[in-house]
A and B are shown apart, each in its own frame.
Chain A
């Protein structure tokens, strides 16, 4: 057995091409999956924390019922190690030297903000500063607009209810300002401990209590498990991921990463399958020999199983050795993009998919053909047995496909992903079947000659079995790679379209009807034309088909829109990015009806024709629902839940106008002049939010590119594995052809042609299948619109034809420029 065991040593194995391919494929699979998983976890954490500043915390708990939450909810959070903070938001009148003004107050505790920073100014025209906490007790920070409205100076006092609080600073921007249009009144920020003494909050006042939480993700999740059963309908637990603006970008990025990982798994699995099958075929002689020497089937099974385990360990260790530095590099990259240090965090759970991948690749793909080695008859030593090669391939394939899709499912958690990829693959295999049939039908009659073309066609026909299976693997590889490239492209395009270079980054709110023209002229003069202006009327939805809306809608539906005043508008044309899903947009001259945003309509259970009653000031307006439309909430343009036709229900209601426009950062000083000229108009600055989103998009893009590169490397390994599978046969054939008088150039040309045809066909099939998969994915996962991708459809088959032609040429290398005699000796 010592000699037999020597035959089994891994070091010796490494010298065998097939084993090298198996190991390299395993290493790449483990490396890709581990890197992606680690990086996805890291990215997730980073994105969440950079987005968390929009909540000033990781999570917010809002109590919209005007009551504080039981104190033990907070102590519980603290006892679990979470940071907490507290805010109270309400509207009130404040008084200064120059009069009084309705303001929106935000009273914050010392801990605020748990995430992000507050931007302040010591006085107008002074530089802006970033600070990490709000005003101390006894002081207020106010919106710069209030200074003028109330004729105040820094250091004066502001009367809030029963208290006089000192204006100590100007509040330019709060991290959780967001761009909710409801925040119309100028902001006053004070300390939460001063609230009671102002006496502003009475029984029945409209107050919102907001609690902030920050800490480790798992702790927060645990805490939420504890909290959830205690919550009432008026409590809203908000995380970044529920936020409107980021959720989609984040989700897509994450899905893309998972998709990339899944494809890497598939590719690696294919490579492992091909290489180990080849390996098993090559091992049959050794096995037969061992059997004639008296080794029993069981012993052989054990020997190869041990070898498989060794491969697995090598693959995992090697893969991690690649993944960790790569991950470290990506993290560095990330922190460079973010221009701040990113903590290098290794989450052990992220390694589980990588281990599973190695395990499944080995046991579902490599094991079946190798296990069958046990059954190799000893007779093989004397005479090769016909028909051995094809046996069991189908069962192997079935097991493998099931296993790998199970893995993808487990990994990406998306049945639609699995289904999309399966659809693409099914199409691919169907087309291959057809192509195989055509190959036999059309090429059967072609006869070779001194002509490279004919020899190439004859070659394709004669090697049809090998050609088709190679084509299947190439096409699959190309399909997976093309899918990824296509999804990436459309993802980036979508983001680009969503936030173009000059996306509006400032809102002007509260423009009086008679100021509209002047405001337009002001910005026109400065070369910053305004986008479309919309009228805005504030009103509450009070009745649904004549019934009070709170009764008409089931109690446990928490609908923020019902508790707030809504922004109502009228418009004649449907905004470009809105889409009618039911009913019809207002026609020319229509004056009846209202168009409702789709999600709200669904929450309220609205149908076309339902009659909605709005209370606007002291008036009531009732209109039937005539259309339901979707709205792009993340478009950074004014969006409305309710839209009326011009001269419709809102005519004669007190309206102000709203618009958005793009202001480059170096023009921001114009805002000061604007505020002086139009003191009553609110300017909502969202440029920092847009910058942030663009930054996130940039990071994710970089990550996506890096992962794409990894996966293309995996694809190349698969190609190499498949090509090298027939290497020996091809070389032997080349040598014999030369002995029989084939010229080198003929050999080279016909081989390159044959491979080019193979690559071209595979390219066409792969791209077609990728389009199908992308079409399905786009629909199910990325919500994009589908169109043909000529930039991929044309070059991929060409490139794959070229690449394969050179692979073919490269294979022939040892057969050329060597005397045929030597070749024959070598191949004997």
Chain B
């Protein structure tokens, strides 16, 4: 079903285009290559899963794709913008308007209430009525009753739902999720991933997700494997035969 993507001719500009991405970090004694020659293209509206073992470089890749970091080599083109050519402030602006995040460890601010946490990206994007939109989103993720609770008072699943509401708040064109269910039990993980997929469909967002969860990965339109910093995309046919 993804064969269309291999035909380069009449395709619209992809949401994300990565070419020969390499990332190294300098350690005390030598340099460590975390990612090696990664190339991929992701179209608008696609949902993509990246799977791989712990330490294989998934989070690093996601950060580079989202413009949270700049690669040692290669290019990332996000929504038509070459990330490595942007200044830090331009990247910030891009993040504020086009990108959403869901982190493995939620990353909610303990000083703020659930509502305020969701309002944060709206405020940064200079949105008109941040509170109404945040309220609406929290109701959508089923936390309409917990608006003024602090993250400490919420369970892990609830916290992640707040984080999802926050990620969708600024109406992002692309959403990055780093093991969104990794810290949750099966059933809670299930409901959180349901929510994520639903919202993704409703909003027409492009989704790039790192996960261990086979079921969740299977619900995405494409899957990539990463091993020791090398990315491969098993063909859809191979996938079917497995």
Binding site for B on A (CB under 8 A): 384-386, 447-451, 454-455, 458, 462-463, 466, 729, 732-733, 736-746, 817, 819-822, 824, 828
Contact = CB atoms under 8 A, between A and B. Distances in A.
B131 A737 contact: no
A824 B95 contact: no
Given A463-B111, A740-B124, A821-B69, 10 more contacts: A447-B130, A448-B123, A448-B124, A449-B127, A450-B126, A454-B123, A733-B109, A740-B101, A741-B99, A742-B92
Interface string B113-129: 00010011101111100
A740 B120 contact: yes
A741 B123 contact: no
A737 B101 CA distance: 12
Contact of A386 (B64, B94, B150): B150
Question: How many B residues touch the partner, as a band?
Answer: 35 or more
B109 A732 contact: yes
Given A450-B126, A737-B124, A741-B97, A386 B111 contact: no
Interface of B: 60, 63-64, 68-70, 88-89, 92-97, 99, 101, 103, 105, 107, 109-112, 116, 119-121, 123-127, 130-131, 150, 152-153, 166, 170
A783 to B, nearest CB: 49
A332 B88 CA distance: 56
A819 B70 contact: yes
Contacts of A820: 63, 68-69
A436 to B, nearest CB: 16
B140 to A, nearest CB: 19
Contacts of A740: 95-96, 101, 120-121, 124, 166
Contacts, number: 94
B32 to A, nearest CB: 14
A743 B92 contact: yes
A819 B150 CA distance: 28
Contacts of A742: 92, 96, 124
A300 to B, nearest CB: 23
Contacts of B123: 447-450, 454-455, 458
A699 to B, nearest CB: 51
A303 B232 CA distance: 54
A463 B113 CA distance: 11
A741 B123 CA distance: 10
Contacts of A385: 152
Contacts of B92: 738, 741-744
Contacts of A737: 120, 124
Nearest to B156: A383
B110 A729 contact: yes
Contacts of B101: 739-740
A324 B215 CA distance: 72
20 contacts: A384-B152, A385-B152, A447-B131, A448-B120, A448-B130, A449-B126, A454-B123, A455-B123, A462-B116, A736-B120, A739-B101, A741-B99, A741-B121, A742-B92, A742-B96, A744-B92, A820-B63, A821-B60, A822-B69, A824-B103
Contacts of A451: 126
A745 B97 CA distance: 17
A345 to B, nearest CB: 54
A462 B124 contact: no
B16 to A, nearest CB: 17
Nearest to A732: B109
A449 B123 CA distance: 4
Contact of B88 (A448, A449, A450, A744): A744
Given A736-B109, A741-B99, A821 B68 contact: yes
B112 to A, nearest CB: 6
